[in-house]
Amino acid sequence: MPPLPTAPRDLFEALAEVRRSGEAAALATVIGTRGSTPGKETMRLLVFADGRFLGTVGGGCVEADVVDACLDVLRSGRSKQLTFRLTENATGATGLMCGGELEVFVESVTVPQLVVFGAGHISRDLCTIAHRAGFRVTVVDDRESFANRERFPDAGEVIAAESFEEAFGQLHVTPGTSCVVVTRGHAYDLECTGYALASPARYVGLIGSQGKVRGILRRLGEEGRLAGVDLARLHAPIGLDLGGASAGEIAVSIVAELIADRYGAEGHARMRLDPAEVQRVTSRAAGPG
């Protein structure tokens, strides 16, 4: 796919449009150089999911590798930092015998998309908290009295359809989309979970007890709807175990898990000091008694 004609202003305008539209794109930025390199610090390359790109990080084989890295970040959702050593092997037939090093940071600039199936009380808090965490939220329900702008002012889109099945046709779920199923009944949960698992969504969360989750998975399996499905995407019961049970607390636990999934974190207190380490530090601080 050839590059698009661009000037620095065009790239930033395109980046702003990506933010508005939710189109999948990744941004590569030169963050450091050593020695002689074709790319200079702050050069940028914006790459779309179909391979189109704007800008440059210096051209040559390195640029092709950076485009590939951007596409990989779009697939995984994980940012990465790369170092390119511009040797004869790296530059190949391009003749760019620079002999330097180029450091490039690649990040997804796509606004994360969240589809919430169900427009009940948990969904209201979930929509607000997810919006503030940077997600563009689409709320789906088959009841217009629940799925409306008055109840969901922070939603990017509210779909009130005759049925959930009808609403599926209005959705555009990509590998970067997260789906949360919090409907008002098991039958609707079954329908929406089956749809979400059949989609390319990166994350599928289902609320309910372990018994309910087992029942829904058993039913989907009996209907032959789990063949070839990557169940590693399924988070059920949904949310991190924070101990709370109110609608707001459940919503916080769900969004916390969504954020952990987005950044590839484990979602636990891994940054907390080990109790033994705390004891050692405080003992040293106290000094001899």
What does pLDDT average to in each consecutive run of 10 residues of the chain (289 residues)? 56 88 88 86 92 90 91 84 75 53 92 95 98 96 97 97 96 90 97 96 94 94 93 93 94 96 72 61 57
Q: What's the per-residue H, E or C state across 237-288?
A: CCCCCCCCCCHHHHHHHHHHHHHHHHHCCCCCCCCCCCHHHHHHHHHHHHCC
Q: Which CATH class is domain 113-263?
A: alpha beta
Identify the pLDDT of residue 273.
58
177 neighbors 202 (Cβ within 8 angstroms): yes
Token pair recorded at residue 18:
């990506």
Token pair 């948990």: residue: 122
- The structure tokens listed for 14 are 């395109």
Amino acid identity, residue 187?
A
Instruction: Provide the 3-class DSSP secondary structure of residue 204.
Output: strand
Give φ, ψ of 270 to 5 degrees.
-70, -20
Give dist(CA 4, CA 32) in Å, integer.
25
Residue 100 tokens read as 């330097």
Residue 170's pLDDT is 94
Q: Cβ distance 54 to 4 under 8 Å?
A: yes
pLDDT of 208 reads: 93
Q: Where are the domains positioned within the chain? A: 8-108, 113-263
**Helix, strand or coil for residue 84?**
strand
The encoded tokens of residue 193 equal 């979970």
| pTM check: above 0.85 | no
Q: What is the pLDDT of residue 119?
A: 98
pLDDT in tens, 16-75: 988 877 788 999 999 998 887 888 999 999 999 889 999 999 887 789 999 999 999 988
Only one residue has tokens 């702050």, namely 42
Q: Look up residue 36 and give its amino acid.
A: S
Is residue 214 helix, strand or coil? helix
Angle, in degrees to the nearest 10, between helices 121-132 and 247-263: 40
- Which regions of 109-222 does DSSP assign to beta strands (E)? 113-117, 136-141, 157-160, 177-181, 203-206
Report the C-alpha gap between 188 and 175 in whole angstroms: 23
Position 262 scores a pLDDT of 84
Q: Check if the beta carbon of residue 238 is closer than 8 Å to that of residue 257.
A: yes
CA 45/CA 27 separation, integer angstroms: 6
